[in-house]
Amino acid sequence: MIFSLIIAKDDMTKKPSLFTCLTPEIVHLYDFSSKISVVTDILRASSTIVTALAYGASEIMPFANESDCKIKRNENFIIAGERNGVTIPEFEMGNSPFEYMSDKITGKKIALTTTNGTQAIEKSKGADEILIGALLNLKSTAQYLVTQNKDVIVVCAGWKGHFCLEDTLFAGALAEELIHLGFDIDEDSTLAALELWKNSKENLNKLMEKSSHFKRLNKLNIHEDAKHCLTKDLYKIVAGIRKNTIIVLN
Amino acid sequence: MIFSLIIAKDDMTKKPSLFTCLTPEIVHLYDFSSKISVVTDILRASSTIVTALAYGASEIMPFANESDCKIKRNENFIIAGERNGVTIPEFEMGNSPFEYMSDKITGKKIALTTTNGTQAIEKSKGADEILIGALLNLKSTAQYLVTQNKDVIVVCAGWKGHFCLEDTLFAGALAEELIHLGFDIDEDSTLAALELWKNSKENLNKLMEKSSHFKRLNKLNIHEDAKHCLTKDLYKIVAGIRKNTIIVLN
């Protein structure tokens, strides 16, 4: 009886933890059961999704491949997506958040496929719940996670399996918010992400200019996209997946 | 003719690059051909190997599994190894560098198996050459790499596939040395490792005390091991693999 009381007390006092899966290539190392997955692809899928929802898109259905995405045109979806940063031929929209800052998407359903982001969502399917996280809705996402009181795994979309700086910086930013709200950090990848964020948050561009993704985006002349995607707390929405589609949760 | 001259000039001026494979789980993303792999397992395999060589061990043969390692006892090897930080039963030595600071290993051959380090060596076998890197022989390793003028991949041993802070800090420290010596950094993982190193090198312990590996080692009461393993440039040797065994190269 005493023993069971001690266990109950221990369960009650255990803080939730934040884990950071640095690339989708190592998701198999994580146990997603009873946890919330926060998928992030800062440049640009998750930032674009959050922007589109903030501008009134009713839902965004993610697809790992082009052909499945394209079929949704027949069901009144806007079809959208990129490969290697460029809009897919015959698709109506690409992956720039600025394309979605428009009345024409208000109330519309969007089918979206991207190079890395949608694959990261596919790989998170063992989780209790999947959110889409961006710096654009950082604080709202953190506040929602606290209400759920579950362990959280940030899944960084990366670039073709490789580690990406901007996704890791998001994980660090989320760690900073969640520590203030009572979460534990007991994994090195989260600790490293937090250190990177704390040491660069006052001048994100200085570090990001050296990153491989910035160099790729620079070649595509989309400086403004990157600037937008690195802005914190522009939108007060939480983006989550319900029945395979991304909607605003609050 | 003009075209071929331009290519030749470009080849001549191309600087070698440093890549950082953050865990052995993602080695398949890297092309090791024509490159040098630097395997690191700061706590403690690579630090212990470098210490043993500095104290005169004639060679150290790495093994991924216990039984292959144990057989070498019949060939006059000292058999050594740990699992989960603890010396394997019936083995003569464990994985603490202090065990190897002794005359008794001078001129001796050692067969070594460890939890993560030897597996990382196995996975690097596509490289032109494999070195064993530690903070203990950082500068000597960097100077050797410059003489080879090849791209370099640091393979962080990690912990059971997971990212480890101390191995990444070594990658950052090596990046700092190699940039001064003319290498290029064009990968986010190396950039992140360099940032982590630059921001914590003046007080490594402050960051490392929060790391998961430090907490594990603390449970085993091996603070002194960790302090030794985080010391820079104590030994002026280069550790490399020749015919499946680790020897001093210079």
Q: What is the 3-state secondary structure (H, E, C) of chain A?
A: CHHHHHHHHHHHHCCCEEEEECCHHHHHHCCCCCCEEEEECCCCHHHHHHHHHHCCCCEEEEECCHHHHHHHHHHCEEEEEEECCEECCCCCECCCHHHHCCHHHCCCEEEEECCCHHHHHHHCCCCCEEEECCHHHHHHHHHHHHHHCCCEEEEECCECCECCHHHHHHHHHHHHHHHHCCCECCCHHHHHHHHHHHHHHHHHHHHHCCCHHHHHHHHCCCHHHHHHHCCCCCCCCCEEEECCEEEECC
User: B15-248: what fold?
Assistant: putative 2-phosphosulfolactate phosphatase (3.90.1560)
pLDDT at A103 (0 to 100):
93
Residue type (1 letter), A56: G
Say which residues have a Cβ less than 8 Å from residue A213's Cβ, sequence separation at least 6.
A43, A159, A164, A165, A166, B188
Find the residue in A nearest to B206 (Cα). A195
A136-178 per-position pLDDT tens digit: 999 999 999 999 999 999 999 999 899 999 999 999 999 999 9
B165-180 per-position pLDDT tens digit: 999 999 999 999 999 9
B40-72 per-position pLDDT tens digit: 999 999 999 999 999 999 999 999 889 999 999
Say which residues have a Cβ less than 8 Å from residue A76's Cβ, sequence separation at least 6.
A109
Q: How far is B164 from chain A (nearest CA, A)?
A: 6
Q: B161, A212: Cβ pair inside 8 Å? A: no
What is the b/e burial string over B184-200, where b = at least 16 CB atoms within 10 angstroms of the residue's CB? ebebbbbbbbbbbbebb
Q: Which of A162, A149, A140 minimizes the C-alpha distance to A211?
A: A162
Q: A210, B191: Cβ pair inside 8 Å? A: yes
Q: Residue written as tokens 């939108």?
A: A235
Q: B211, A191: Cβ pair inside 8 Å? A: yes
Going by CATH, does the domain composed of A17-248 fall within 3.90.1560.10?
yes
Q: Which residues 127-146 of A are in CB contact (within 8 Å) with B?
A: none
Report ipTM (2 d.p.): 0.92
pLDDT at B7 (0 to 100):
43
CB contact at 8 A, B111 and B79: yes
The model's pTM is: 0.93
Domain boundaries of chain A, sorted by first residue: 17-248
